[in-house]
Amino acid sequence: MIEVFKTYLKGKGNYTEEELEKVASVAVIKKVRKRQYLTQEGDVAKNHAFVTKGCLRTYTVDEKGIEHILNFAIENWWIGDRESIQTGHPSIYNIDAIEDSEVALISKEKFDRLCIEVPAFNDMINNILQKSFLVAQNRIHTFISLTAEEKYLSFLEKFSHLNMRVPQSMIASYLGITAETLSRVRKQIVKR
């Protein structure tokens, strides 16, 4: 499935054939079965991960045992706790697969070296970062200004593909509402 990664790279930056090989060659493919962890709370994250197949999520579990989902990642998305990778501090997040999945792992060291040695890679990563930031800003805005129903509608607009793949209870968690509330909200929407 390294081909998925290469295709992605081609679409995202101006790589020479040589650079492309260089980037792809440091990636290590790993299968992650449904419910299997990629990283657990307390671990120091060592790898950036690119999803070639399946779907994963980043989340925490609070004292009451409730899961709070921070992010999903499907094919052609990156996932990983940048904070932990960069600082070397233990991660506060869990990452696991919610479908049988496959990721391309790149170790921090190799990733950092790529950023230096392959300008196209560096630019690509910074572009992604920029985009991720804007998405995050936007999501913050939904939290401070929208009702449960509006949050869900906004989610549908932006991530309808996720809506079809991810259990409702997880979408609720991602939106910061309960599964019951989401169920009722959906009923309301359909009714109109």
Partner DNA sequence: GATAACACTTGATGTAAATCAATTGCTATT
Partner DNA sequence: AATAGCAATTGATTTACATCAAGTGTTATC
- Which class for 157: exposed (0-12), middle (13-18), buried (19 or more C-beta within 10 A)? exposed
> Which option in a copy of itself, DNA, none does residue 149 bind, with CB closer than 5 to 8 A by kind?
DNA
The residue count for binding a copy of itself (CB under 8 A) is 27
**Is 183 near DNA (CB under 7 A)?**
yes
For residue 157, state whether it binds a copy of itself (rule: CB under 8 A): no
180 belongs to the binding site for a copy of itself (CB under 8 A): no
Convert residues 98-137 into a mask of x (bound to a copy of itself by CB under 8 A) and - (unbound): ----------------------------x--xx-xxx-xx
Q: How far is the CB of 150 from DNA (least distance, A)?
A: 8
- What's the min distance (Å) between Cβ of 126 and DNA? 35
Distance CA 172, CA 71 (A): 12
**Whole-angstrom Cα distance, residue 6 to residue 3?**
5
**Structure token pair of residue 85:** 């990778």
List, as own/partner pairs, every contact residues 32-36 make where C-beta atoms lie below 8 angstroms and the sequence separation is at least 24, other chains included.
32/56, 32/96, 32/97, 32/100, 32/101, 32/102, 32/103, 33/97, 33/100, 33/101, 34/97, 34/98, 34/99, 34/100, 34/101, 35/96, 35/97, 35/98, 36/96, 36/97
* Contact code string over 17-56 relative to a copy of itself, x by CB under 8 A: ----------------------------------------
Residues that bind a copy of itself (CB under 8 A): 60, 62, 66, 68-70, 82-83, 86, 126, 129-130, 132-134, 136-137, 139-141, 143-145, 173-176
